[in-house]
Chain A
Amino acid sequence: MTGRRVDGAGRWLDRARPVTFAFDGREVQGFAGDTVASALLASGEIGGFVSPIARRPRGVYAAGVEEPNAFVEISAPWFEPIRPATMVNLVDGLQVGSRAGVGVLPAGPVAARRARHTHRHVETLVIGGGASGRAAATMAEGRVLLVDEQPVVMDPPPNAVTLTSTTATGIYDDGYVLCYQRDGATDLFHHIRAGRVVLATGAHERPLAFVGNDRPGVMLASAARAYLDRFGVLVGERVAVFSANHAGHDAAEALANAGATVVVVDPDVRPGPATERLRAAGIEVRLNARVVASDGDPALTGVTVSAADGQRTTIPADVLAVSGGWNPAIQLARGLGIGLRYDEAKACFVHDGSGPEWLTVIGRAAGDVPASFPLWVVDDGDDREKYVELQRDQTVADVAEAVAGGLTNAEHVKRATYIGTTIDQGRTSGVLTAEIVNRLLGWAPGAQGPTNARPPYTPVPFSALAGTDSGPILLDPIRITPIHAWHDAHDAVYENVGQWKRPRFFPRGEEDMDAAVARECRAVRTSVGVLDASTLGKIDVRGPDAGVFLDRMYTNRMSNLPVGSIRYGLMLGPDGMVFDDGVAMRIADDHYVCTTTTGGAAGVMDRFEEWLQTEWTDLRVYCTSVTEQWSVVAVGGPHGREVVATAGTDANLAHDAFPFMTFRDATVAGVPARICRISFTGELSYELHVSPWHAQHVWNAVMTAGEPFGITPYGTEAMHVLRAEKGYVIVGQETDGTQTPEDLGMAWIVNTGKGDFVGKRSLVRSDMLRDDRKQLVGVMADDPAHVLMEGTQLIAKAAIPEPPAHMLGWVTSSYRSEALGRSIALALVEAGRERIGREIHAVVGDATVPCHVADPVFYDPEGTRRDG
């Protein structure tokens, strides 16, 4: 390899500013404006790379995003696992290492490229700063933005904002375009909404398949020319140009003018417009000839050329520049559903003019490319040495094997060979592969086109996509209750419930979760516990028709609920499946507050609004989310009444005066509170609904008042155990969207006499009435110490049958119950209620654990404890 700088060329180069960088640990000299690839070529290196699978020596092949061989890892001044050497511009302190097409992430943290995200709105966005793109921008009116992936745009239009080193990574609906700008220290990710998008992305040259076409020294003719024009690098002293079109011939002329000895090998029988010009300039042009092999060890030393009469000659060469034709770079528009048609004269696929009206494709991208002789594969020689996809080491023979296996569609061949599943996304291989398949099947050229292309146009680091939206706060919002600081101070271990952080348990000393949960459960059952239930969803429902509305949303009747009372309710989807549950409190004739599950609040609110706005527009009802306007301190246990009394309240807590499922608007600890007698544990409970401003104060008052009883804060895990002991379902744990109230043993809550409600009709569909539906039951392992895993499958017999085994159901909840001194589980089991008392077997690994089906209410089935 004898690449060198030449004088008088290199319009991107600043020869006044030398830059030194490290390549594979040694210093290489270049200039500002160079890429790693151009600097390597200038220093006489064309090889130095290896293919990822066959480990064949490879060299720089292209000058842009289509590079399939020369990849580097960037280790300084930032980290990037892999990037084409053609797309890495020299900066001070740059350190790169060659990579065989596969990037590797180091174990520790890295200095990844971050991008700030920004939004732009323009009348016209032009993608591509070549001649046609600049002309389109100049003629456009209003705000005009011109972007180009290369670092230099010559003569930028004065009326446009021009962004260089900026890649349009995807074009989406209605002129929405993402652009990634890598320019200096801070990357930018532009979210652009454009009234008109002009695609002026040019065309990519494609190679030809012949024996040894992957040898270091073989490169695209356009690349050889680009290195000369942009960087002043003459890639070789003796250059053979295998060109099927006049652009390749033009490149040959430019290389000759720069001092190289050039021979053109043209497969066409007819002289083209450039033939005589080149010959007049003293360049040898061989018509009706083909390169049949490259020679070298491993770098190129010569090429074997077959003439029309079959005679072979060898041309000494250190570079073979190949131009098999031109593929319009239309990838960005393919995702918009545009069509391609085959152009015979140009031997390529061009935009058929379809697509959204806001998109215009111009210039070479629109098919304004040189006419080309339709050659794809040179017949001579072994197909196993003719490379189609350099980055996957796939040859003509590999494509033939896929076709012989019955694959006829280029998409299928892609998936069988992995051609095109590469960093360069098959830019050099895609059309070539499709045409080889067409040829193998005896189809005409263009019978089928290349595989589809999808965003991003070129690889984008995830760190740039994430931008500044990373870290614990910005990744996803975190919701905390007003009592969170107290939980933190008392060593709470949290669980995520939706976006909420809820205390799962409060370990004391060296306690593990089981010990802490057992202690917390014991406190609630024998004395008193307190739970922060602020995360419950709450919806304020007002209006003269609120009662009628809720009757239609819940399975039971809410319109006859007396003011001051509370009723539990189930909500179904129109399909009759349980959607959410909660209670409704009637504040006034025209005013309810409904609670929802913590995770279901937004969904219920959406559902309420949907029905009100789209079906029952005659109902005068307004819904307001008040989840964060009410904090809830739930005091539960045999001593609950004394604790609330001691905290200080003007409500009469006597059971007769304040019965179960009622509420009182009163004061607690000197602040306004809505006290609700609701119980999710089966114990006497008071939920204190207070303003978030007062939540910590009320919590503190409750803790102080409960001190003589050893009041114990408990978390969601104990809550789950306590409710499971009572057989209370959790929507989303006992349900997965396929359970009716009947399945859950909750037919009692379905009021079929009150008129229509959402889901009612579905409850009598034939499938809902089947007697083999899965029903909620209890499951007790025969070994009381065995706690089944949630999700465990249940079968009828102790011996696991051959697959497919008939599964009777699965465990939905499973805990060790402190109150019962043993394990308990809830499960959904086929015809489960009929099986109560009967044996069932849980599949645990390769064995089964004997269990018995039980009633799902394990503790205090008579409900004697809820009134204290």
Chain B
Amino acid sequence: MLLITCPWCGARDEVEFRYGGQAHLAYPDDPESLSDAEWAEFLFMRDNPKGEWAERWMHAAGCRRWFNAIRDTATHRMVVTYRMGERPPA
């Protein structure tokens, strides 16, 4: 069970959180201007890297805030968590 550091509440067990998939995927400004293929790309296609990637979590059984995290998909290591709207730390 991961130990996840909520940017608002601190380190808590994974069971308190809900997973939210890939981070930094902005909802398109004008979905109707996108082709079917472009919309499908936004809707269905996600990166699947081996290594570090940015993902979203929500502290469901705590403050209920969404936040972002960098996690290593190969080792499960939580590299860093940061608040919604912030850029990933360099």
Contacts of A761 in B (CB 8 A): 31-32, 34, 39
Taken residue by residue from 64 to 86, chain B's Cβ proximity to chain A (1 for < 8 Å, 0 otherwise) reads as 11100000001111100000110
Contact status A174-B2, CB under 8 Å: yes
A176–B15 alpha-carbon span in the complex (Å) = 12
A63–B30 alpha-carbon span in the complex (Å) = 70
Contacts of A574 in B (CB 8 A): 43
Contact status B3-A176, CB under 8 Å: yes
Known: A174-B2, A176-B3, A337-B75. A606 touches B18 (CB 8 A): yes
Q: Which residues A147-202 have CB closer than 8 A to chain B?
A: 172-176, 193
Contact status B65-A613, CB under 8 Å: yes
Answer yes or no: B41 CB below 8 A from chain A CBs: no
Contact status A766-B31, CB under 8 Å: no
Contact status A356-B3, CB under 8 Å: no
Contact status B66-A610, CB under 8 Å: yes
Contacts of A173 in B (CB 8 A): 1-3, 14, 76
Nearest-neighbour CB distance to chain B for A232, whole angstroms, equals: 43
Answer yes or no: B36 CB below 8 A from chain A CBs: yes
A609–B58 alpha-carbon span in the complex (Å) = 10
Of chain B, the residue at the smallest CB distance from A615 is B27
Of chain B, the residue at the smallest CB distance from A613 is B66
Contacts of B14 in A (CB 8 A): 173
Q: Which residues A206-257 have CB closer than 8 A to chain B?
A: none
Contacts of B85 in A (CB 8 A): 617
A609–B59 alpha-carbon span in the complex (Å) = 12
Partner of A610, one of B20, B30, B31, B75: B20
Partner of A765, one of B39, B64, B78: B39
Nearest-neighbour CB distance to chain A for B34, whole angstroms, equals: 7
Contact status B32-A575, CB under 8 Å: no
**Count of interface residues, chain B, beta-carbon cutoff 8 Å:** 30
A766–B36 alpha-carbon span in the complex (Å) = 7
A172–B27 alpha-carbon span in the complex (Å) = 35
Answer yes or no: A756 CB below 8 A from chain B CBs: yes
Partner of B32, one of A337, A610, A617, A756: A756
Contact status B1-A176, CB under 8 Å: yes
Contacts of B64 in A (CB 8 A): 609
Q: Which residues A724-771 have CB closer than 8 A to chain B?
A: 756, 760-762, 765-766
Of chain B, the residue at the smallest CB distance from A612 is B66
Contact status B84-A193, CB under 8 Å: no
Contact status B66-A175, CB under 8 Å: no
Answer yes or no: A614 CB below 8 A from chain B CBs: yes
Nearest-neighbour CB distance to chain B for A488, whole angstroms, equals: 31
Taken residue by residue from 707 to 725, chain A's Cβ proximity to chain B (1 for < 8 Å, 0 otherwise) reads as 0000000000000000000
Contacts of A193 in B (CB 8 A): 3, 13
Q: Which residues A578-626 have CB closer than 8 A to chain B?
A: 606, 609-610, 613-615, 617
Nearest-neighbour CB distance to chain B for A767, whole angstroms, equals: 9
Contact status B1-A172, CB under 8 Å: yes
Partner of B3, one of A174, A575, A615: A174
Contact status A762-B18, CB under 8 Å: no
Contacts of B75 in A (CB 8 A): 337, 356
A139–B56 alpha-carbon span in the complex (Å) = 39
Answer yes or no: B40 CB below 8 A from chain A CBs: yes
Contact status B56-A614, CB under 8 Å: yes
A337–B75 alpha-carbon span in the complex (Å) = 7
Nearest-neighbour CB distance to chain A for B10, whole angstroms, equals: 13
Contacts of A174 in B (CB 8 A): 1-3, 76, 78
Q: Which residues B9-64 have CB closer than 8 A to chain A?
A: 13-14, 18, 20, 26-27, 30-32, 34, 36, 39-40, 43, 56, 58, 60, 64
Contact status B56-A175, CB under 8 Å: no
Of chain B, the residue at the smallest CB distance from A614 is B66
Q: Which of A174, A337, A574 has the most chain B CB atoms closer than 10 A to its own CB? A: A174
Nearest-neighbour CB distance to chain B for A548, whole angstroms, equals: 15
Contact status A762-B43, CB under 8 Å: yes
Contacts of B1 in A (CB 8 A): 172-174, 176
Residues in chain A within 8 A of chain B (CB atoms): 172-176, 193, 337, 356, 574-575, 606, 609-610, 613-615, 617, 756, 760-762, 765-766
Residues in chain B within 8 A of chain A (CB atoms): 1-3, 13-14, 18, 20, 26-27, 30-32, 34, 36, 39-40, 43, 56, 58, 60, 64-66, 74-78, 84-85
What are 10 contact pairs spanning A and B, CB under 8 A?
A173-B2, A173-B3, A176-B1, A176-B13, A356-B77, A610-B20, A614-B20, A615-B26, A760-B31, A762-B43
**Which 3 pairs from chain A and chain B are nearest by CB?**
A761-B31, A174-B3, A613-B66
